[in-house]
Chains A and B, each alone.
Chain A
Amino acid sequence: DAGVTQSPTHLIKTRGQQVTLRCSPISGHKSVSWYQQVLGQGPQFIFQYYEKEERGRGNFPDRFSARQFPNYSSELNVNALLLGDSALYLCASSPGRTNEQFFGPGTRLTVL
């Protein structure tokens, strides 16, 4: 079975640019969550989507937005990039809203 997939694997942007990260959940999973992992720290919750609706948002600025598509894949958008946005962005999927979450390999974003 295919696990959670994310694209791209690596990305380099400059300050002020915008970026879109993509995630495909495990087949049959309807919930997608996004996390940011800064080097040396644990992941921090950004968003959760279930059945295409936002079910939760972490303590991140409005520059961060996301959406979920009818096939349950998801995109995370970050506008006006800052140096501090450099991190590993992890996507996790789960069958429902409250089940355990399974993580993808992540997208490494570097902002110069």
Chain B
Amino acid sequence: AQSVTQLDSHVSVSEGTPVLLRCNYSSSYSPSLFWYVQHPNKGLQLLLKYTSAATLVKGINGFEAEFKKSETSFHLTKPSAHMSDAAEYFCVVISILTGGGNKLTFGTGTQLKVEL
């Protein structure tokens, strides 16, 4: 079964400093991985996706993630945090269903706090 583990439930950074949100995955085949962001009382927004092309994936709002097979990791980074980045971030893996569809399996989330 496909799964992801987010290693930190809360991360706090100062505005202008780098962001690192950690995610490890478990998969029996080459995974498709995503990062989603959820601002308070909002739906989920796709930040970026990895689908076995380039291992360094660039997303929206300056975020990027690197797929490392040897470490089974897909960490999310941003060089300089902004106050508007404060939100909940989810690492997600796709699983193929027997009925021919797919489902997203979410990690437990990392709450990012950005301080002045």
- Asked if A74 is at the interface (CB within 8 A of a chain B CB), the reply is no
- What secondary structure prevails in chain B residues at the interface with A? strand
What separation, in Å, do the CA atoms of A4 and B108 have in the docked complex?
24
Using CB atoms, name the residue of chain A closest to B34: A100
Distance (Å) between the CB of B49 and the closest chain A CB? 6
Chain A residues near B54 (CB-CB < 8 A):
none
Contact assessment for B103 and A58 in the assembled complex, using a CB-CB cutoff below 8 Å: yes
Among the 9-residue stretches A14-22, A47-55, A77-85, the one with 4 or more Cβ atoms under 8 Å from chain B is A47-55
- How many of chain B's residues have a CB under 8 angstroms from any CB in A? 24
Contact assessment for A42 and B108 in the assembled complex, using a CB-CB cutoff below 8 Å: yes
Distance (Å) between the CB of B110 and the closest chain A CB? 10
- Asked if A43 is at the interface (CB within 8 A of a chain B CB), the reply is yes
What separation, in Å, do the CA atoms of A31 and B101 have in the docked complex?
9
Chain A residues near B90 (CB-CB < 8 A):
42-43
Contact assessment for B44 and A48 in the assembled complex, using a CB-CB cutoff below 8 Å: no
Using CB atoms, name the residue of chain A closest to B92: A42
Knowing A33-B103, A102-B46, A105-B42, say if A56 contacts B97 (CB, 8 Å).
yes
What separation, in Å, do the CA atoms of A42 and B43 have in the docked complex?
12
Using CB atoms, name the residue of chain B closest to A31: B101
Knowing A41-B109, A42-B107, say if A98 contacts B42 (CB, 8 Å).
no
Chain A residues near B83 (CB-CB < 8 A):
none
Known interface pairs A48-B103, A50-B101; 15 further A-B residue pairs with C-beta atoms within 8 A, sorted by A's residue number: A41-B108, A42-B109, A43-B90, A45-B103, A48-B97, A50-B100, A54-B99, A55-B100, A56-B101, A90-B43, A97-B101, A100-B34, A100-B49, A103-B45, A105-B42
Name 25 interchain pairs, CB-CB below 8 A, sorted by A. Answer: A31-B101, A33-B104, A41-B109, A42-B108, A43-B90, A43-B104, A43-B106, A44-B106, A45-B105, A48-B97, A48-B101, A48-B103, A55-B100, A56-B102, A56-B103, A58-B103, A90-B43, A92-B44, A98-B94, A98-B96, A100-B46, A100-B49, A101-B104, A103-B45, A106-B43
